[in-house]
Amino acid sequence: MGSAILSSRVAELHGDVVYLQSLSMRNNLVFTNIPEDNAPGNETSEESGKKLQNTWKPL
């Protein structure tokens, strides 16, 4: 009986790890080959979003 509980807990923890890994990857997206003009400082998220939209429109 202890073995079944342990196996169940391992499966549950594995699911938690997979979820956390996917969450981490989703929150750390990296886009390359998109020109940036960041001379005055950091771009706002709105500016970055517009650049991404404009880059993907031709696709």
The residue among 52, 25, 48 whose CA lies nearest residue 38 is: 48
CA gap 12, 45 in Å, rounded: 36
Residue 1 has pLDDT above 60, yes or no: no
Amino acid 46: pLDDT? 86
pLDDT tens, 10-20? 999 999 999 99
> Rg of the chain over CA atoms, in angstroms?
21
Distances in whole angstroms, Cα of residue 55 to Cα of each of 6, 23, 29, 37, 43: 50, 25, 16, 14, 16
Contact 34, 51 (CB under 8 A): yes
pTM of the model: 0.44
Amino acid 57: pLDDT? 75
Residue 6 has pLDDT above 60, yes or no: yes
Q: Where are the domains of the chain?
A: 2-56
pLDDT tens, 10-58? 999 999 999 999 988 887 777 777 777 666 667 787 888 888 888 877 6
